[in-house]
Homo-oligomer: A and B are copies of this chain.
Amino acid sequence: MEHYQARLDGVFQALADPTRRAVLGRLGKGPASISDLAKPFDMALPSFMKHIRLLEESGWISTAKQGRVRTCAIEKKQFAAVESWLSEQRAIWEARTDRLEKFVLSEEKPE
């Protein structure tokens, strides 16, 4: 459970930045080299690499080096982590709605 929570911290932290979200959006279209990924951003390469490393450490992307080119690919399983957190929240609200409904129905019953 603690491991799951720590993983979620990283998963959401990675999403809290427009550059990192844009990189994930780009990688959704297919793998890309770091230099191609960096092109649309007006950012020094070391700064861009920090975003890449954070995405890799949080499990959102995997990278592989072939010759002098490092290619990044998206790890879609992390989206499942976000979705599973959302479903947990929905389950909580639905349980609440069920309780409210039961309460209203019980109040409506004639004595």
Interface residues on A, range: 20 to 34
One of A41-49, A63-71, A85-93 at the interface: A85-93
- In the bound assembly, the distance between CA atoms of A10 and B17 in angstroms comes to 9
Contact B15 A96, beta carbon cutoff 8 Å? no
| A13 nearest CB neighbor, chain B only | B16
- The residues of B that contact A88 with a CB separation of less than 8 Å are 25
- The residues of B that contact A6 with a CB separation of less than 8 Å are 18
- The residues of B that contact A73 with a CB separation of less than 8 Å are none
- The residues of B that contact A8 with a CB separation of less than 8 Å are 15-16, 18, 21
Number of copies of this chain that the complex holds = 2
A32 on the B face (CB < 8 A): no
Q: Distance in Å from the Cβ of A72 to the closest Cβ of chain B?
A: 15
- In the bound assembly, the distance between CA atoms of A8 and B95 in angstroms comes to 27
- The residues of B that contact A21 with a CB separation of less than 8 Å are 5, 8, 85
Q: Which residues of A contact B (CB under 8 A)?
A: 5-6, 8-10, 12-13, 15-18, 21, 24-25, 28-30, 76, 79, 82-83, 85-86, 88-90, 92-93, 95-96
